[in-house]
Amino acid sequence: MNDIENGLIEQLPRADRQRLLAAGEAVEMTLAEVLSEAGEPTRHVYFPMEGFVSLVSRVDAHPGLEVGMVGREGMLGVHVALGVPVAPLHAVVQGPGTALRIAVAPFRRELGHSAALQRNLGRYVNVLMAQLAGSAACLRFHLIGPRLARWLLMSQDRAQSDHFHMTHEFLAYMLGVRRVGVTAAAGALQAGGLIEYRRGELRVVDRAGLEAAACSCYLADRRIYGLSIGRAPASAINAA
């Protein structure tokens, strides 16, 4: 856990950082593991060190739609810092990895002791709000291809890898579209030499080309993060 850090923890003063780390434990997040359910009491918060989590909104009997993503730049359970005891969204592990898990009671104690943590999480709430609002606008106004390119870039930033295991069915679920639409969009990206996809294994081949193909929401996400937190996600900078 000392080698792979979380951006929010990384920016804390040394004493605050050590106390927060001591309050939690390193856990493995496994693929498709559900970390929280909308409307259910929150028992733990998570600071991903590797891997990433999809925030999914569900309406009626529909399977759901990804409206946000949390990786090593952020935290799952930030609503607890606002005094809200229940989760607003379904959270499922999309990229396996390690996270710092802290029970709600000790997390609240550390939050009360650290003005820096309060400040960092306040800024992160702004980032998350912008991401949620941007997802709604992106779904309404942008085509599947550019949205898929944006999603792959966001996943690559958080996974710190150019290789993912995912199916067309899963991508359709995340983007809220029919499988045939994802198949056509992924095929176009592959024909353009931007990705390689075979039997559920996807690899980003041309990062710069994928950025050019993505909708404007990707750069907007990075811009709001930089303005709020003070820098863009480190993995995005390294990959760009």
Listed residues 135, 160, 181: the one ending a domain: 135
pLDDT of residue 235: 46
Q: What is the CATH number of the domain that holds 89?
A: 2.60.120.10
Note the residue count of the chain: 240
Domain total for the chain?
2
Candidate from 93-107, 134-148, 163-177, 188-202 with smallest mean pLDDT: 163-177
Query: For residue 198, is pLDDT > 50?
Result: yes
pLDDT of residue 175: 85
pLDDT of residue 112: 96
Using a 10 angstrom Cβ sphere, with 0-12 exposed, 13-18 middle and 19 or more buried, the burial of residue 227 is: middle
- In this structure, the answer to whether residues 70 and 170 fall within a common structural domain is no
pLDDT of residue 240: 32
Domain assignment present for residue 73? The answer is: yes
Q: Which residue has the tokens 């080698």?
A: 3
Joined together, the tokens standing for residue 74 give: 């952020």
The string of pLDDT tens digits covering residues 205-237 is 999 999 999 999 999 888 888 777 765 554 443
- In this structure, the answer to whether residues 32 and 110 fall within a common structural domain is yes
Domain assignment present for residue 177? The answer is: yes
Q: What is the CATH number of the domain that holds 228?
A: 1.10.10.10
**Do residues 216 and 203 lie in contact, with contact meaning Cβ atoms separated by under 8 Å?**
no
Domain assignment present for residue 2? The answer is: no
Provide the mean pLDDT of the chain: 89
In angstroms, how far is the first alpha carbon of the chain from the final one? 25
Q: Checking DSSP bridges between strand 65-70 and strand 52-57, what pairing results, if any?
A: antiparallel
- In this structure, the answer to whether residues 35 and 123 fall within a common structural domain is yes
14 versus 173: which is more confidently predicted? 14
- In this structure, the answer to whether residues 62 and 108 fall within a common structural domain is yes
- In this structure, the answer to whether residues 229 and 149 fall within a common structural domain is yes
For 113, the enclosing helix (H) or strand (E) is: helix 104-113
pLDDT of residue 128: 92
Domain assignment present for residue 13? The answer is: yes
pLDDT average, residue stretch 140-161: 90
Domain assignment present for residue 1? The answer is: no
pLDDT of residue 231: 54
- In this structure, the answer to whether residues 109 and 19 fall within a common structural domain is yes
pLDDT of residue 3: 52
The string of pLDDT tens digits covering residues 17-76 is 999 999 999 999 998 899 999 999 999 999 999 989 999 998 776 677 889 999 999 999
Where in the sequence is the domain holding 189, given as residue range(s)? 142-239
- In this structure, the answer to whether residues 88 and 19 fall within a common structural domain is yes
- In this structure, the answer to whether residues 147 and 231 fall within a common structural domain is yes
- In this structure, the answer to whether residues 90 and 18 fall within a common structural domain is yes
Domain assignment present for residue 49? The answer is: yes
Tell whether the torsion through CA atoms of 156, 151, 153 and 222 is positive or negative: negative
Domain assignment present for residue 17? The answer is: yes
Assign 178 to helix, strand or coil.
coil
Query: For residue 145, is pLDDT > 80?
Result: yes
Query: For residue 192, is pLDDT > 90?
Result: yes
pLDDT of residue 59: 78
CA 17/CA 10 separation, integer angstroms: 7
Domain assignment present for residue 214? The answer is: yes
Joined together, the tokens standing for residue 1 give: 């856990």
Listed residues 100, 135, 170: the one ending a domain: 135
CA 87/CA 80 separation, integer angstroms: 8
- In this structure, the answer to whether residues 43 and 84 fall within a common structural domain is yes
pLDDT average, residue stretch 104-119: 97
- In this structure, the answer to whether residues 11 and 128 fall within a common structural domain is yes
Grade residue 103 by pLDDT with cuts at 50, 70 and 90.
Answer: very high
- As a whole-number percent, the residues of the chain with pLDDT over 90 amount to 65
- In this structure, the answer to whether residues 87 and 202 fall within a common structural domain is no
Listed residues 92, 116, 135: the one ending a domain: 135
Grade residue 186 by pLDDT with cuts at 50, 70 and 90.
Answer: very high
